[in-house]
């Protein structure tokens, strides 16, 4: 530095001492400067004061020479001490050069800068608050300083500044929040610790309502919650806990809408539990305000439902969120007009990443909140399109856990119950995946899936949609529904018949599904959609089935279910006594499809007590191709005759004269069987049939009575036999074609 330059009012001796490498000499110079400035203060000579500060700043603190910079720093601190309470008028000139030295490469100089600023702030106290942002910015950098002495000095200054803020009621929170929002995304652990400590201090000051600005930095807090340092995570948990307490105390002033999407984007294991806990409280406190964010919430919540016991707390919190959110959906959400339904009320994406997240949150968040809060909470629009998209995505994802899939299906069922009109607009897109889900490995998933499909098939909201009908002829078929009323199928929910068609197609394409889960699925559908509806519609569809082998297998499956399942008890009783036109029509409908399987047809006749017709059918078995599979089916029928289902049939063997065709039909089955265990079983049963002479009473007529079913006016048995012959002719033709192809595998068609 040029010592000959005029630095007045600083004397040459002061200038030399400020430039000296020894701290003691610079300290002596500082005392002289303090004395000089006190004189100017006494004279009220602000011009000279500013001149001294300017010289110390530009010629010393901002000098290229390190010793000069150190002298300038101690000189500026001396000025502040001399100014005392008047230092507030000169703070900008005092602070700026010191803060510049915070960036110096020399750690000793950074320490002196920290010391100088401490003295300046200590004297000015509350007067430094207008300059808080620049002080905070500088301190946040020193908090991560590698030199321990600098860190120690910055911590002293930090505590002093916190004391000043705590005892003052003039802190400008509005001006500070943008800086906080920017600094909170630092990845440095010390900087994060510094930020968290300040948030904790500001949150504890009664006159500072930091909760109003929580949406501005909540995302950053959750990112810090994922820090690798246990201490930092603990500090962050404490701060978040305090905020959550405040939210519970003052829910009416909380900006739930702005923070909803912030919570759902955090899926890191370390912070997920806190995020789920916050979201649970938000849903319970804010109610329908969070509905526009349902898709984002579900995106975060649903995967957590499949967690194991290692994440039990997170799973339980997510389950509570899911349950609370589901309760918010009410029938009134099905009453919005077309325009509000098709437009999403959530302008923020469900999931944000990187800078897009921060930008969207800052620019749109306040707009969302103002819109939501300006209207009645009950008028908030459900983001149904977004919810369905999320649910559908989870069903399509093969990695989705079982409990998540169950929750998805529960959501779909709930939406079809609460908002059927809107949901049916999504049914065509959901339907294929719901059908595919029937192949799931979990019975519980299949059961929930069937509940959804059954609701779709039976909901009155689907009656206005005729897209599911196959053709005009199908739509005119009558079907018996619960309550005993015959209705035209066109008046029904069109998805019922569509569901039955697609279910049978799926069984046809996936024979393993039919074998492993077919009976379970059909039995559950009988409970959900009424057994008569299910069997009537399936019989109609199978009547036109081109794959005759599948038709035979499917009829055999349906017949086994009909004869053995507890769920079909009412339907069996209805068929057992064909006293009404409706029951006769049902029998004829089943019979025509049952003809794909001769043994099943006979068993249907046994069930309906059409014994003479059963005997007539068995007489025709001599013209059929008797295969091993055919004999196995007869074997199973004999076993069924011995089961509780046919107790009434066995008791009718006591009345020999009135049931001659029953005995003939059973003997016919006996003659079909080889000398097997089933043969012995049936033979033994028939040997127990009593002598009619021994069983005759005085009141009994001597002449045998024909089968009572022959007098049934609603059934044309001759036509049924002709139909049986036609169906069996088709089966025989198909078998011959297959046999021909197997004998000539190389023959070209």
Q: With a cut of 50, list the residues of the chain below it in pLDDT.
A: 339-378, 465-491, 703, 705-706, 744-749
Angstrom distance (rounded) from CA 662 to CA 465: 48
CATH number at residue 23: 1.25.10.10
For residue 481, the cross-strand partners are 485
Which 3-state string (H, E, C) describes 590-611?
HHHHHCCCHHHHHHHHHHCCCH
Joined tokens for residue 202: 């500001």
Joined tokens for residue 669: 């089955």
Would residue 685 count as lying in a domain?
yes
Contact 351, 301 (CB under 8 A): no
End position of a domain, from candidates 152, 167, 182: 167
Angstrom distance (rounded) from CA 247 to CA 217: 15
Write the burial class of residue 466 (CB in 10 Å: 0-12 exposed, 13-18 middle, 19+ buried): exposed
Q: Provide the pLDDT for residue 741.
A: 63
Q: Provide the pLDDT for residue 622.
A: 84
Angstrom distance (rounded) from CA 533 to CA 477: 12
Provide the number of structural domains found in the chain: 2
For tokens 């989870």, name the residue: 394
Would residue 581 count as lying in a domain?
no
Q: Provide the pLDDT for residue 364.
A: 30
End position of a domain, from candidates 108, 143, 167: 167
- DSSP for 216-249 reads HHHHHHHHHHT-S-HHHHHHHHHHHHHHHHHHHH
* Residues 6+ positions from 8 with CB-CB distance below 8 Å: none
Grouping H, G, I as helix, E, B as strand and the rest as coil, residue 706 is: coil
Q: Which domain holds residue 108?
A: 1-167
pTM of the predicted protein model: 0.75
Q: How distant, in Å, are the alpha carbons of 191, 475, 599, 640, 678 from that of 675? A: 91, 49, 19, 19, 8
Would residue 182 count as lying in a domain?
no
For tokens 């699925």, name the residue: 521
Joined tokens for residue 563: 């004869």
Angstrom distance (rounded) from CA 154 to CA 143: 7
Angstrom distance (rounded) from CA 693 to CA 533: 46
End position of a domain, from candidates 119, 151, 167: 167
Per-residue pLDDT tens digits for 436-458: 999 999 999 999 999 999 999 98
* Residues 6+ positions from 740 with CB-CB distance below 8 Å: none
Cis bond before residue 103 (omega within 30° of 0): no
Would residue 378 count as lying in a domain?
no
Would residue 664 count as lying in a domain?
yes
Grouping H, G, I as helix, E, B as strand and the rest as coil, residue 113 is: helix
Would residue 102 count as lying in a domain?
yes
Would residue 732 count as lying in a domain?
yes
| Long-range CB contact pairs, 353-362, < 8 A, 24+ | 353/265, 357/219, 357/265, 358/185, 358/219, 361/215, 361/219, 361/258, 361/261, 361/262, 362/181, 362/216
* Residues 6+ positions from 567 with CB-CB distance below 8 Å: 523, 524, 526, 527, 531
Mark residue 716 as left, alpha or beta (left: phi above 0; alpha: psi -120 to 50; beta: remaining). Answer: beta
Would residue 27 count as lying in a domain?
yes
Grouping H, G, I as helix, E, B as strand and the rest as coil, residue 487 is: strand
């Amino acid at each position: 530095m040029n010592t000959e330059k005029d630095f007045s009012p600083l004397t040459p001796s002061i200038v030399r001492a400020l430039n000296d490498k020894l701290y003691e000499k610079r300290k002596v110079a500082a005392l002289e400067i303090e004395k000089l400035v006190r004189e100017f203060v006494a004279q009220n000579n602000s011009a000279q004061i500013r001149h001294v500060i300017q010289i110390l700043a530009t010629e010393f603190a901002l000098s290229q020479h390190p010793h000069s910079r150190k002298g300038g720093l101690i000189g500026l601190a001396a000025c502040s001490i001399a100014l005392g309470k008047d230092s507030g008028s000169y703070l900008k000139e005092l602070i700026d050069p010191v803060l510049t030295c915070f960036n110096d490469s020399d750690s000793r100089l950074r320490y002196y800068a920290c010391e100088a600023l401490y003295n300046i702030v200590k004297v000015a106290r509350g007067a430094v608050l207008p300059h808080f942002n620049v002080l905070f910015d500088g301190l946040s950098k020193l908090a991560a300083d590698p030199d321990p002495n600098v860190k120690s000095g910055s911590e002293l200054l930090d505590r002093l500044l916190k004391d000043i803020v705590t005892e003052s009621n003039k802190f400008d929170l509005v001006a500070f929040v943008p800086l906080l929002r920017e600094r909170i995304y630092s990845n440095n652990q010390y900087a994060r610790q510094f930020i968290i400590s300040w948030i904790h201090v500001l949150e504890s000051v009664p006159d500072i309502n930091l909760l109003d600005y929580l949406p501005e930095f909540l995302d950053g807090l959750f990112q810090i919650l994922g820090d690798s340092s246990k201490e930092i995570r603990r500090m962050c948990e404490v701060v978040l806990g305090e905020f959550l307490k405040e939210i519970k105390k003052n829910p009416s002033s909380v900006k739930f809408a702005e923070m909803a999407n912030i919570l759902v984007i955090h899926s890191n294991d370390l912070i997920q539990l806190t995020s789920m806990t916050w979201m649970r409280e938000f849903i319970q406190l804010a109610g329908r305000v969070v509905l526009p964010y349902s898709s984002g919430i579900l995106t975060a919540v649903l995967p957590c439902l499949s967690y194991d016991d290692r994440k039990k707390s997170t799973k339980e919190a997510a389950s509570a969120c899911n349950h609370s959110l589901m309760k918010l959906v009410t029938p009134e959400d099905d009453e919005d007009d077309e325009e509000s339904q098709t437009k999403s009320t959530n302008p923020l994406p469900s999931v944000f990443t990187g800078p897009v997240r921060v930008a969207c949150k800052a620019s749109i968040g306040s707009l969302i909140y103002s819109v939501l809060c300006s209207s009645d909470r009950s008028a908030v629009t459900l983001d149904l399109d977004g919810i369905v998209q999320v649910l559908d995505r989870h069903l399509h994802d093969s990695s989705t856990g079982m409990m998540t899939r169950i929750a998805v299906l529960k959501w779909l069922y709930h939406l079809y119950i609460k908002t059927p009109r809107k949901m049916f607009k999504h049914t065509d897109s959901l339907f294929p995946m719901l059908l595919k889900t029937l192949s799931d490995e979990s019975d519980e998933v299949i059961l929930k899936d069937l509940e959804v499909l059954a609701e779709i098939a039976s909901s009155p909201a689907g009656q206005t949609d005729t897209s599911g009908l196959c053709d005009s002829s199908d739509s005119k078929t009558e079907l018996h529904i619960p309550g005993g009323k015959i209705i035209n199928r066109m008046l029904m929910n069109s998805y019922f018949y569509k569901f039955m068609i697609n279910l049978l197609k799926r069984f046809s394409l996936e024979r393993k599904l039919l074998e492993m889960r077919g009976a379970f699925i059909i039995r559950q559908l009988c409970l959900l959609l009424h057994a008569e509806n299910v069997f009537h519609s399936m019989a109609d569809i199978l009547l036109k089935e081109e794959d005759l082998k599948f038709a035979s297998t499917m009829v055999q499956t349906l017949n086994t279910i009909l004869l053995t399942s507890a769920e079909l008890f009412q339907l069996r009783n209805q068929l057992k006594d064909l006293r009404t036109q409706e029951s006769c029509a049902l029998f004829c409908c089943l019979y025509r499809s049952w003809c794909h399987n001769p043994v099943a047809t006979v068993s249907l006749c046994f069930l309906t007590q059409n014994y003479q017709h059963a005997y007539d059918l068995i007489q025709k078995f001599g013209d059929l191709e008797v295969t091993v599979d055919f004999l196995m089916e007869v074997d199973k029928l004999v076993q069924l005759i011995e089961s509780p289902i046919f107790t009434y049939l066995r008791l009718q063997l006591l009345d020999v004269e009135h049931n001659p065709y029953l005995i003939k039909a059973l003997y016919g089955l006996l003659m079909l069987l080889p000398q097997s265990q089933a043969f012995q079983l049936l033979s033994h049963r028939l040997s127990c049939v009593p002598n009619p002479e021994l069983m005759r009473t005085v009141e009994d007529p001597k002449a045998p009575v024909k089968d009572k079913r022959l007098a049934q006016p609603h059934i044309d048995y001759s036509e049924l036999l002709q139909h049986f012959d036609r169906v069996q002719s088709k089966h025989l033709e198909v078998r011959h074609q297959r046999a021909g192809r197997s004998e000539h595998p190389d023959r070209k068609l």
